[in-house]
Amino acid sequence: MGKSELFGRDLICSQEWKKEELDKILELAKKMKKDRFSPKYTKLLENRTFFMFFYNPSVRTRQSFECAATELGGHAQFLEPKTMRLKTEKTAGETVEDAAKVMSRYACGIGIRILEDKISYYGQGDELLREYAKYASIPIINMADDKFHPCQGLADIMGLKEHLGEDLKGKKILITWAHGALARSWCSVQEAALICSRYGMDVTIAYPEGYDLDPEVMEKVKKNCEENGAKFEITHDVREGYKGAHVVYSRNWMSPNAYEGGEFHKQEEIEKALKLTSWICDSEKMKLTENALFIHPMPIDRGHEVTDEVASGERSIIYDVAENRLHVQKAIMALTMSERL
């Protein structure tokens, strides 16, 4: 037993890890899922604590990380920054440097979740994680920031491999915008595009005019596809992208104009999005696909992002993917935080 070569690594975006390193996470997650409560795994983080910083609330993220820590023999401590004396733009308090260095002496890792309504401009959440990573001597794990969501991306890939086979090359994923009442950040869709393109999938992104994603991220997706001999397409047609798709991922996301004057204009985003009612994943559009799987990071805005018929249909693997969050996070924590592998 000993440390993995990934011990101490931060995971902020999957693009920053080599594909072989991502493979190690997926391989261990697969074993952990098959033999979930094996003594091989139940003491990997014995007596260790994982700190979870939740600037934003969560359902699956908190549950899955707490379960992961428990099943590895450790403990996950829930922290709300608003109850802590941390320095912000508007208040005095402890700096990130001081907080990160002190917490590094207590815990084996730190997870941080910070999304759209807790920041004043796009990228600020991701910047915060990177500042913690700069000063912490323990791994920083991205539990979803405003740019990336690596744990969700890995869970997506694990689910697709389970249903489509280990080799995903030549399979097409459609990531399509959908109308909805949540004004969601870009993290999950950008992560899905990045990681699916790393695994050789053809990537089509569909959205109405005015809902462009981060151009730097899209350039990375395009490059990933070129390196794998895969196709990368963007369409503004609500139906075209479904043709030939093996996987459909239908989710609302905000426009690039969501932040103005240092504020997140959530209500305006919602009102604008709800007018585009044709942008919903339904059975009619799914008939254009190659009997595609439906995936979504959840929570789903049913009736807006997707119909119940599709979300709860026989080709939906949303619950498999949600379960896989637990297994990939156990694998991430074991590989980056355990000295007993």
Report pLDDT digits (tens) over 171-229.
Answer: 999 999 999 999 999 999 999 999 999 999 999 999 999 999 999 999 999 999 999 99
Report pLDDT digits (tens) over 267-291.
Answer: 999 999 999 999 999 999 999 999 9
State the average pLDDT over residues 79-87: 76
State the average pLDDT over residues 47-60: 94
Give the domain range for residue 80. 14-148+325-337
Same domain (yes/no): 138, 177:
no
Q: Is residue 183 part of a domain?
A: yes
- What per-residue confidence (pLDDT) applies to 84? 75
Same domain (yes/no): 270, 332:
no
- What per-residue confidence (pLDDT) applies to 87? 55
Same domain (yes/no): 140, 187:
no
Question: Helix/strand/coil (H, E, C) string of 181-208?
Answer: CCCCCCHHHHHHHHHHHHCCCEEEEECC
Q: Is residue 7 part of a domain?
A: no
Same domain (yes/no): 175, 317:
yes
CA distance 48 to 45: 5
Q: Is residue 140 part of a domain?
A: yes
Q: Is 180 exposed, middle or buried (0-12, 13-18, 19+ CB in 10 A)?
A: buried
CA distance 132 to 86: 13
The proportion of the chain whose per-residue pLDDT surpasses 90, expressed as a percent, equals 93
Same domain (yes/no): 220, 157:
yes
- What per-residue confidence (pLDDT) applies to 91? 60
> Residue 238: which pLDDT band, with cuts at 50, 70 and 90?
very high
Same domain (yes/no): 157, 262:
yes
The total domain count for the chain is 2
CA distance 150 to 201: 17
CATH number at residue 212: 3.40.50.1370
CA distance 66 to 326: 9
Residue that has been written with the tokens 């990681």 in this structure? 195
Same domain (yes/no): 96, 157:
no
pTM of this structure: 0.96
Same domain (yes/no): 124, 26:
yes
- What per-residue confidence (pLDDT) applies to 88? 61
- What per-residue confidence (pLDDT) applies to 1? 73
Long-range contacts of 103-108 (CB under 8 A, 24+ apart): 103/51, 103/136, 103/138, 104/136, 104/137, 104/138, 106/49, 106/51, 107/48, 107/49, 107/50, 107/51, 107/77, 107/138, 108/45, 108/48, 108/49, 108/50, 108/74, 108/138, 108/139, 108/337
Q: Is residue 8 part of a domain?
A: no
Q: Is residue 278 part of a domain?
A: yes
